[in-house]
Amino acid sequence: MVLGAFFACEKREDSDLSKDLQGEKGDKGEQGEQGLQGEKGDKGEQGEQGLQGEKGDKGEQGERGLQGEKGDKGEQGEQGLQGEKGDKGEQGEQGAQGEKGDSYILSESDKLEIVDRIENSKEGLPEYWIPALQDGTKAINMALCEAGANKSSFLFYSDSHWNYGSKMSPLLLKYLYKNTGITKTVFGGDIVNDESSDYDDMSYLWEWRSMIKDLPNHHSVVGNHDDGNGTNNLFSEEYVYGYLLAPEETSDVVHGEGMYYYIDNTSEKTRYLYLDTAYKGVDQSQKSFVDQALKTTPNGWHIVAVSHIWYMPDYDNYDKRPVPLTGLSSNARVLTEMFDAYNSRSGEYASCGGKVEFCIGGHVHYDYDGRTETGIPIILVETDSRHIRGSYTYTAGTTTEASVNGIIADYDNNIIHVIRVGRGNSRKVKIDNSAETYTNVLPSALDASLSGVYNETGWKANTRWSSSTDMELLADGSYISGYIPVSNGDIIRISNCNMKFDGVCSVFGYENNNTSLEVWGADSQILTEYYDSVWEDGELVQFTVVAHDEITHIRIQGGGFSENSVVTVNEAIE
């Protein structure tokens, strides 16, 4: 029975003829246990090897890595754009006229080497610039934090003479703009150097423009070279305006009739005057413009005056370093007289409430700090080009090849920070144009302890200063003042202080009481070199404190002081 049934079942399976057999096919559903054959699905586990396909996913990650490599090449491509700017430089080379003018500072191999450095360094900057920029960034940000809200701040550079330098300043300025809290840049004039009459040779101007194009809030003043031929006005005002100022027009610019304008910075409460002392100069139109700009400045606001020329070099002594200065230019004098009257609230300015804080510019090609009659600081900065008239050196491929500045005027602490990146040194300029000055009297000079007046008259008769022993000695007919407080850049005026019998008036500078730094003024020549002095009929009548070290006091030795003697600090003699 069992065996027969077995064969019968086999038959039924083969023929699939009865419903009963179909039911047992449900047993085949049990063969779904053959899903155990799904153990063959272990091969499906091989499908897990499809997990190896996941390893293929890793392969996809590898493809991403390849994309990253392409990104690196893309960065190099951006640097290659700078190389294209170098091509524009080649166009400048085609203007061989520049070479005839001995304008180019670098050989072709030098230029290519610098371009190569730029292309293969951080953000287009050679590595040798990075530490200097980092130090400058830190100093600028610290000064900004100390100043708080009551300040005026901007990046500043001047006298780039574009085809006569490294062309590095736009890159330096962009780094500082990106990494500091300063939001504006000012150019002090003279982007041109060749002074060529051929407009084609001006192509480097557009190279400069292309390099500063993405530097936000950049504004310029006109220099004496920017007309194409020094002061000969070879190019029309329209042409100069077109390449220099027109590309910088913004909605907040208030124009005059010439190349002068002002911009208000409401957050700083500062009105920036951009003036022309170099192209047409301060004519009646510009004078009227400045007059209205002063009168309409809101009460409590600061005024900063930017122009190219303030002081004039002494071209008769052009071989000296630094080149001596002859004083304020005639155009600058017109402006400073207006500023002094404004700050003094004289005449029509009696009801005004702003204040001219300082003036800034270039032209003389070295660092210099002067003052107006009432003590308004006038700050001049080192050239950004190779035209050296000061005491610094220019070496391509080092941080001496360019010079830019961070300017932070801290009004709460009465200090202007001039933070240098590149050739030259940082410095601080005191804001003391409202400090006490002396009118028509000899100052009540301090005694040796700096704790009181020297004596009732501020001087001692029959006394001279011994430079060899650093002490007072008796000497008939010689007089010496006490210690007079001064700062670098102060203007000292002298009247009725007679020379000694040998025609000599000496000025002694001191870092503190009883410490003589150096004797200046053994004769007029030495005084001229160190003090920018003025002599009339053999008498010393004025000098500016220009110290190579920090000078805090001076003493004056002459042939005789009296009740009619006058020594003023930052004040005109009436």
pLDDT band, very low/low/confident/very high, at 13 (cuts 50, 70, 90): very low
Domain limits for position 469:
459-569
The answer to whether position 69 is within a domain reads no
Three-state DSSP state, 570: coil
Do 202 and 334 belong to one domain? yes
The answer to whether position 41 is within a domain reads no
Do 494 and 374 belong to one domain? no
pLDDT band, very low/low/confident/very high, at 17 (cuts 50, 70, 90): very low
Between the CA of residue 81 and those of 78, 87, 88, 387, what are the distances in Å? 5, 10, 11, 28
CATH code of the domain containing 158: 3.60.21.10
Do 253 and 387 belong to one domain? yes
Do 254 and 185 belong to one domain? yes
Rounded to whole angstroms, how far apart are CA atoms 128 and 114? Answer: 12
Token pair, residue 142, equals 């610290």
Do 236 and 314 belong to one domain? yes
Averaged pLDDT for residues 360-378? 94
The answer to whether position 203 is within a domain reads yes
| Candidate from 40-44, 143-147, 465-469 with smallest mean pLDDT | 40-44
The answer to whether position 124 is within a domain reads yes
Neighbouring CB atoms inside 10 A of 376's CB total: 25
Residue 285 scores a pLDDT above 90? yes
Q: Which residues contact 242 (CB under 8 A, 6 or more apart)?
A: none
With tokens 């003391």, the residue in question is 432
Residue 542 scores a pLDDT above 70? yes
Rounded to whole angstroms, how far apart are CA atoms 188 and 371? Answer: 18
| Candidate from 266-275, 296-305, 486-495, 528-537 with smallest mean pLDDT | 528-537
Residue 453 has what DSSP assignment?
B
CA 118 to chain CA mean position, Å: 21
Burial 234-267 (b: 16+ CB within 10 A, else e): ebeeeebbebbbeebeeeeeeebebbbbbbbbee
Do 486 and 368 belong to one domain? no
Neighbouring CB atoms inside 10 A of 106's CB total: 18
Rounded to whole angstroms, how far apart are CA atoms 288 and 211? Answer: 35
The answer to whether position 28 is within a domain reads no
pLDDT digit string (tens) for 413-455? 999 999 999 999 999 999 976 544 455 567 778 887 777 778 8
Domain finish residue from 415, 430, 445:
430
Give the number of C-alpha atoms closer than 13 A to the C-alpha of residue 197, restricted to the C-beta side. 3
Do 219 and 368 belong to one domain? yes
Residue 37 scores a pLDDT above 80? no
Residue 376 scores a pLDDT above 50? yes
The answer to whether position 442 is within a domain reads no
Do 302 and 396 belong to one domain? yes
As a whole number, the mean pLDDT across the chain is: 77
Domain finish residue from 377, 411, 430:
430
Do 540 and 409 belong to one domain? no
Residue 29 scores a pLDDT above 80? no
Name the nearest CA neighbour of 82 among 141, 124, 121, 43: 124
Domain finish residue from 409, 430, 451:
430
User: Amino acid identity of 256?
Assistant: G
- Give the total number of structural domains in the chain: 2
Rounded to whole angstroms, how far apart are CA atoms 445 and 257? Answer: 49
Percent of the chain with pLDDT over 90: 40
Do 154 and 295 belong to one domain? yes
Query: Ranked by mean pLDDT, which of 298-307, 322-331, 473-482 comes out on top?
Result: 298-307
Q: Which residues contact 363 (CB under 8 A, 6 or more apart)?
A: 158, 159, 188, 189, 190, 223, 224, 278, 308, 309, 310, 311, 312, 313, 380
The answer to whether position 39 is within a domain reads no
Do 400 and 513 belong to one domain? no
The answer to whether position 59 is within a domain reads no
Give 499-565 as a DSSP string.
PPTTS--EEEEEEETTEEEEEE-SSHHHHHHHH--EEETTEEEEEE---SS---EEEEEESB--TT-
Residue 118 has what DSSP assignment?
H
Residue 80 scores a pLDDT above 60? no
Token pair, residue 225, equals 């070279």
Do 336 and 420 belong to one domain? yes
